[in-house]
Structure 1
Amino acid sequence: MAKKLNYADMAAAIITQLGGKENLTNVNHCATRLRVVVRDEAKVNPDALKKIPGVLGVEAHANQVQVIVGQIIEDLFLEVEKRVGKTDGVTQKPQEKKLVTIFSNFLQLMAGIMSPVIPSLIAAGFLTCLLLLLNLVFGLDSTNSTYIILNNLAQSVFYFLPVFVAYTSAKKFDTEPVLAMLLACWLLYPDWVTMAGAGGYTSYFGIPTLLTTYNGAVLQIILSVWVMSKLDQALKKALPLSVRHFLKPFLLILITSVITLTLTGPLGGLVTNYIAMFIAWIRNYASWAAVPAIIIFACTLGLLCPGFHLALIPIATTSLATVGYDDFINIWFFCCTITPGFIALAVALKSRQRRLKEIAFPASISALFGGISEPTTYGISYKMPKVYFCSIATSLITGLYAGFVHLKCYGFGGYSLTNILLYLGENGDTANFIKALIGVGIMAVCSFVFVFLTKWDDSVYNEDDESEAVPALASIELSAPAEGVYIAQEKIADPVFTAGTLGACFGIRPQTDEVKAPISGIINSIAPTKHAITIKGEGGAEVMVHIGIDSMKLDEHEIEPLVEVGQTVSRGQQLARIDLEAFKAKQLDDTIIVILLNSAAYAEVRADDQRQQLIAAA
């Protein structure tokens, strides 16, 4: 039976292998992945990350790293956030503006905006399935008040989608979320909808304005909120503090409203219409090729843009809002999510590796009934390429079938067996539902045939058992990092350390300029501001030496590291030289703090005030 993961230890290990807390500029997550932007990609150790128990895979492109962990992400993210704090809006390392980089960044941006909205879309899909069940099993018809109210709840997600997108866009662009939501609500206000229903043009402050509705709009809102964020920055610089509090919101919403109705709204609508026309062209002339084409892209070039599928969700929501069904994005998800579920099930039944079975059975359930395929993809397919090819072949065959029979999904979320009724639709499209069931059958049969007829090597999971075995911790003693006055954890003048947020600790008020190693080990990281040094100690201890409080305010030469990352050090060896006079001149606390970062992994950790030590018993 698999051991229960310790999320605190897992988070600490991930942060260490990402180069330490100081190397992280942005930390977020989606349904299965920890998404991180790092300052220096050279400090990231992907191989070590992959060996951490619970990590299914790692994808690193430039300074963006994704750690795939599956459905434990929410629990893990809470532990990561405890250690690194909230990092949204931190300036990222500038990158060369190559075409591929720009395209990748755009997809990542769209994915980041749409990712928080997905739960509401999935909930709408489940509500639609519930309505179908109530109709089929209990005879609840569309005139019943319960049916009407539930249907309103499901459809509200799509009608008010601009409001949700406005909020997530504002968070992404670092502007006012409530004002962004107000902008979206204004575009959905009944009087505007009535006015826009007449079509043609009107005027707003004398400027010609296109009369169009914005229910379900996505791109128009994203463009408008992006403009709002730029205006926000300009107004902050232009307005004096005495009037900024009340004048900035007024000017921000007023100016943005003019730009939205006259520029970004029509422009976004134009782009959306061209996308819709392109989809319609494919639907009319090459419907059989659309889904296989996107599957091939996702399995090849798409690997360079992890999470790009989230950026394409607006295509599905637009299609659902205009023609009432989606025959592209949801069908692609259908083929590439249910297939890994059957692949994992077949692998679990064929393999004799205990470790592989422990991964494969839960991965199968996750994909077939939860609509999440990453545990199969990263935990199985990427480790055994032949199995990956089985998955690709099955998805392509199903995609070709879906294209030829013009399979339709009547709601968002039709990529799990739980939501299979979305292929029946409100009007009871039985023929389409049977096509979907046949598609499921094709995926099941092809997955089992390909997996059982293909010879693949699962010995890699023997190596996993060895590599993922956590070395036994040894009891350790952390000695004083300097000569001076001992300060107990509860008396350190910083609530982060006092509360033990980073781990058990103690401090020394130094009397000399020497900072020493509290333990023997290897230098794991040095903060860019030089105020923190981490050591991977002998016996598995993970130790940070934090030089001063608010010491980031010191000039570069006032803390001088005397070691380098990767260097082996001995207990008592000098790590750095500090300018104590600079601390005094700038009225900064010069306490040197020793933190046992993985103290939660020890059976007991206690401070010895007399000996100025921290003692951890394994």
Structure 2
Amino acid sequence: MSYEKLAKEIVQGVGGEKNVVSLVHCATRLRFTLKDNNKADKATLEKTAGIITVKESGGQFQVVIGNTVPEVYNAIGKVSGILNESKTEDQPKSGKKGIGSLIDVISSIFAPLLGVMAGAGILKGLLLIASNFEWLQKTDSTYIILYAAADALFYFLPALLAVTTARKFGGSIFTALTIAGALLYPTIVQLKTDGTETDFFGIPVVMMSYSSTVIPIILSVIVMSHLEKFCNRIIHESVKNFVTPLISLVVMVPLTLIVFGPFGVYVGNGIADALLAAFAFSPLLAGAILGASWQLLVIFGVHWGLVPVFINNIAVYGKDGIKPAATASVFAQTGAAFGVMLRTKNKKLKTLAGSATLSALFGITEPAVYGVTLPLKRPFIAGLIGGAVGGAIIGQAGTQAFASGAPGLLTLPIFYGPGGQGFPGLIIGISASFLISAVLAYVLGFKDPVEEDNSSAAPVNEVRLDRGAGRTGEKALSPLSGTVVSLSDVPDPAFSSEAMGKGIAIEPSAGRVVAPFDGTITVAFKKKHAIAIVSDHGAEILVHVGIDTVKLNGEHFTSHVKEGDRVSAGQLLLEFDVEQIRAAGYATVTPVIVTNTMDYIDVIELPQGQVREQDELLQIVGESSEPAVLAKTVSGAGLA
């Protein structure tokens, strides 16, 4: 694979270099912050060789690469200027608010550290094992040197977080590092160690231990970044290069020691104590919940909210009893992918599932989840069940993590503490997760993709129609112009789960909906955001413009038909203002659903990429045996 070629395609796909505010990467993903997400071509990127999938979560545009993400990240630095100093003057056109903004901040700060954190965690775990088995004594110089290598990252964590936080908020990295250095300065540490009564010009200072802490330095650097920008606006250019850092240090170091430090430590400890209390109340139940839900949290990006808690627990208590249950979820999805590999007869899927299983064993689950279990649905559910069982076992066993690192085979040593207590429970739990998920994925089954016959010149849809010999098919034409989007990527489970039926989605380039075939309007929603039509042959299609657009109460929509109207293919049914709907904060991706899918053999998506009105969109295979009335299907469904 040419990483530079892939890098160029990614830069082009995210809307070009000028559309990128910042870029970081974690173990498997490139995490872009874009000025305008609408300029990114998600559909094209997802079809690009070397990209597993594309997700938008927590204010970030995430391109999932897999194990080679560092190489692609470096290649982007070679083919563009994106990795140069943060473009602090650029801001996204419309940023996330609330929890989305918080997740964006946390992931941007911690993601760059995950690789070295995992390596240091593995080394720390191996040293714990060597010490417990008396292969090395803690007084040995060899042990001391290796332990310094393993523990330095965690001890000086505030300094590393100062760098990533300053990059995120556009502050001076060197000023941020100096503030972090002050928190760890020997005489400051000595004040805490000796219990010396401390004040700053008469203001009492509650001295805390800041090594390995997370929240204090993040809060400090965020405020420092804003203070710097203010100072740079009002101080003359001839002196601001040294006056601004002077003011930042004089203000921020005392302010951090007096306010942010104690506040951050207390808040971090409070959150940790609350979660530990949940595990103390019922470790079996808490472990089951976390084991089942961890991969769901990862999919939506909200797992970042727990990462600081894990790190804080290890810093404060020397161990963490929450993270081990999440390990069950990782091995559960690994087992589910393995079950798919054993059952599928599709050579391409078998190869994909096999390689995904191998990478997931070492903690890289994206290829397994996004490439195998989630698209097939039932294997993903099997993984949730296996994760719940394994998490319950691990929680009940009281397993602890003694260092940080992504869960996987190589990081198992981080869970081996004094006397190995809880470690057998971990082994049993992850084994149960793997085996239960693999068996369930195999037994529950899934819709095995049809093996493509490349020797045949017949189109894919013609080959698949042969399965329904003796039955007629029906084509639905595209009711919109725009970019084709997989239904599984629609941000609404009612559609992405195919609960409403099979189909496809379109990101519209124009605000028009036309009839996909000759038929009758069965439902014209009062809020004008959706319309349902049944063809003369019985196929029922729902076109739902945007997500949650029912809340607009018809604003920006104009309907041209009413229930009971006869329409012809291509006839204008509905108009809407794409830009106004987006400006109101609503996604405009439009599902096109065959709501009576169960009456047919299959629904096949025909196009990819761009589509125009009246292009062939769906092939509906087979005759309708008992046509249902669409009004009954959608009435009371609460479509939004």
- TM-score, length-scaled by structure 2: 0.66
Q: Secondary structure at the match of 1:67?
A: strand
| 1:327 paired residue number | 321
- Residue 53 (structure 1) aligned with residue 49 (structure 2): yes
Match among 403, 406, 410 for residue 402 of structure 2: 410
- Quickly say closer, same or farther: Cα 1:464–1:27, change in 2 above 3 A: farther
TM-fit CA distance, 1:384 = 0.8
| 1:440 paired residue number | 430
Q: Secondary structure at the match of 2:168?
A: helix
* Equivalent residue letter for 2:447: D
1:444-593 equivalences under 5 Å are 444-459=434-449, 462=452
Farther off after superposition, 87-96 or 249-258: 87-96
- Quickly say closer, same or farther: Cα 1:189–1:32, change in 2 above 3 A: same
| 1:92 paired residue number | 91
| 2:376 paired residue number | 384
Q: Determine if contact 1:320/1:410 at 8 Å carries over to the other structure.
A: yes
Distance 2:158 2:180 in 1: 6
Q: Secondary structure at the match of 1:428?
A: helix
Q: Secondary structure at the match of 1:268?
A: helix
CA RMSD of aligned residues (A): 3.0
Distance 2:152 2:443 in 1: 48
- Quickly say closer, same or farther: Cα 1:126–1:357, change in 2 above 3 A: same
Q: Secondary structure at the match of 2:375?
A: coil
- Quickly say closer, same or farther: Cα 1:196–1:372, change in 2 above 3 A: same
TM-fit CA distance, 1:199 = 4.3
Consecutive unaligned residues of structure 1, counting only runs of 5 or more, are 467-524, 526-618
Farther off after superposition, 33-42 or 265-274: 33-42
| 1:518 paired residue number | none
* Equivalent residue letter for 1:459: P
- Residue 248 (structure 1) aligned with residue 244 (structure 2): yes
| 2:274 paired residue number | 278
Match among 308, 313, 319 for residue 314 of structure 1: 308
Q: Determine if contact 1:39/1:63 at 8 Å carries over to the other structure.
A: no
Q: Determine if contact 2:325/2:390 at 8 Å carries over to the other structure.
A: no
* Equivalent residue letter for 1:315: V
- Quickly say closer, same or farther: Cα 1:301–1:33, change in 2 above 3 A: closer
Cα deviation, 1:557-584, whole Å, max 9, x if unaligned, reads xxxxxxxxxxxxxxxxxxxxxxxxxxxx
* Equivalent residue letter for 1:314: P
Consecutive unaligned residues of structure 2, counting only runs of 5 or more, are 457-508, 510-640
TM-fit CA distance, 1:136 = 6.8
| 2:340 paired residue number | 347
Q: Secondary structure at the match of 1:241?
A: coil
Distance 2:371 2:202 in 1: 60
Distance 2:265 2:59 in 1: 33
TM-fit CA distance, 1:376 = 0.6
TM-fit CA distance, 1:272 = 1.3
Distance 1:457 1:156 in 2: 49
Distance 1:221 1:400 in 2: 35
* Equivalent residue letter for 1:242: S
Q: Determine if contact 1:351/1:357 at 8 Å carries over to the other structure.
A: yes
Distance 1:414 1:384 in 2: 25
| 1:183 paired residue number | 179
Distance 1:383 1:461 in 2: 17
Distance 1:418 1:29 in 2: 21
| 2:225 paired residue number | 229
* Equivalent residue letter for 1:336: S
Q: Determine if contact 1:179/1:253 at 8 Å carries over to the other structure.
A: yes
| 1:71 paired residue number | 67
* Equivalent residue letter for 2:87: G
- Quickly say closer, same or farther: Cα 1:201–1:403, change in 2 above 3 A: same
- Residue 165 (structure 1) aligned with residue 156 (structure 2): no
Aligned residues: percent identity? 28
Cα deviation, 1:385-434, whole Å, max 9, x if unaligned, reads 11111111111111122222222222222611122232222x232x4221
Distance 1:465 1:102 in 2: 53
Distance 2:415 2:109 in 1: 27
Cα deviation, 1:331-377, whole Å, max 9, x if unaligned, reads 31x11222222222332233232212332222222121x21111111
| Corresponding residue pairs, total | 457
Cα deviation, 1:480-508, whole Å, max 9, x if unaligned, reads xxxxxxxxxxxxxxxxxxxxxxxxxxxxx
Farther off after superposition, 355-364 or 192-201: 192-201
- Quickly say closer, same or farther: Cα 1:462–1:409, change in 2 above 3 A: farther
- TM-score, length-scaled by structure 1: 0.68
* Equivalent residue letter for 1:146: T
Distance 1:394 1:227 in 2: 44
Distance 1:67 1:382 in 2: 17
TM-fit CA distance, 1:201 = 4.9
Distance 1:346 1:465 in 2: 29
Distance 2:240 2:254 in 1: 21
- Quickly say closer, same or farther: Cα 1:223–1:266, change in 2 above 3 A: same
